[in-house]
Structure 1
């Protein structure tokens, strides 16, 4: 029996400041379409043929703008390059930041949960609230951790 080996990219999509663009809510399908178009533009049909069957967006959080992308191990560099070269999704400019590359979903989950905690800490620091203060972010951390841990390969 042969196991299908994957790589898991943890990507933060930082919205670029642009006062003229409207805020379009993202979801996994829109991100997948943008990555697909980036692969086709930068690597052509050969690039898409090598990763097209294996690439999928497993998780996206609109609060912290992170997503987890699964791709086959043999061609993960094409997906990584396409994500890095991504400039806009649905007409809105984004700056992609690959935070973590993992060989297992478990390590991607741990990195995502850790990153969520860092982002919430930054939000709290900007709001100048003490770390022990109970706010809506506490509930978000719990629900996002449960969603991330529930991901299956």
Structure 2
């Protein structure tokens, strides 16, 4: 039995069109397709064939603008080299920053927790009521924003 190693790439999505307080209207399926198209454009058919097996968008949070992509170890270099060249996702003008590349999903979520805690600390000073702060914390620390339908389609 062969064990496949995966890499989890944590990406930050910056959009100058949307203010920091508003969430992005971004679906993980659109993000997934855009990334595959960019790999096709830069690395060709070989890059797409190498990346496509085991390639999933595991997590996409519109509030903190963070996404996690799973790719196999080895072809993950095609993905990480294509990320900086993405300038549009759907109709949004964006800039993508690679924050972290980890070997486990748990390690990536620990990194995101630290990153989002820092984000919360900076945003709390701008909010006035405790209710707004609780709503923001619930939205930021929600790790269930995964588009299951696109992931099930890609597994089979």
Q: TM-score range by the shorter chain?
A: 0.7 to 0.9
Match of 1:100 in 2: 100
- What TM-score, normalized to structure 1? 0.81
Q: Could you tell me which residue of structure 2 aligns to residue 135 of structure 1?
A: 134
TM-score by length of 2: 0.80
Deviation at 1:122, TM superposition (A): 2.2
- Give the Cα–Cα distance (whole angstroms) in 1 for the partners of residues 139 and 29 of structure 2: 22
1:113 corresponds in structure 2 to 113
**Aligned partners of 1:106, 1:13: CA distance in 2, in Å?**
21
- Alignment-derived partner of residue 43 in structure 1: 43
Displacement of 1:140 after TM fit?
A: 2.4
Summarize the Cα distance change of 1:141–1:88 in structure 2 as closer, same or farther, 3 Å threshold.
closer
Deviation at 1:55, TM superposition (A): 1.3
How far does residue 116 in structure 1 lie from its aligned partner after superposition?
1.6
Aligned residues: 141
Aligned pairs for 1:64-79 (under 5 A) are 64-79=64-79
Q: Unaligned stretches of 5+ in structure 1?
A: 149-153
Say whether residues 1:4 and 2:14 are aligned partners.
Answer: no
CA distance in structure 1 between the partners assigned to 2:53 and 2:134 by the alignment: 41
- Cα RMSD (Å): 2.5
Distance in 2 between residues matched to 1:3 and 1:66, nearest whole Å: 28
**Does the CA-based 8 Å contact 1:24-1:90 persist in structure 2?**
no
| 2:116–2:140 contact (8 Å) kept in structure 1 | yes
Which residue number corresponds to residue 91 of structure 2?
A: 91
Q: Which runs of 5+ in 2 are unaligned?
A: 146-156
CA contact (8 A) 1:11 1:100 kept: yes
Q: Which runs of 4+ in 1 moved over 3 A?
A: 128-131
For the structure 1 residues 70 and 89, does the alpha-carbon distance in structure 2 shift closer, same or farther, using more than 3 Å as the test? same
- The whole-number CA distance in structure 1 between the counterparts of 2:34 and 2:8 is 18
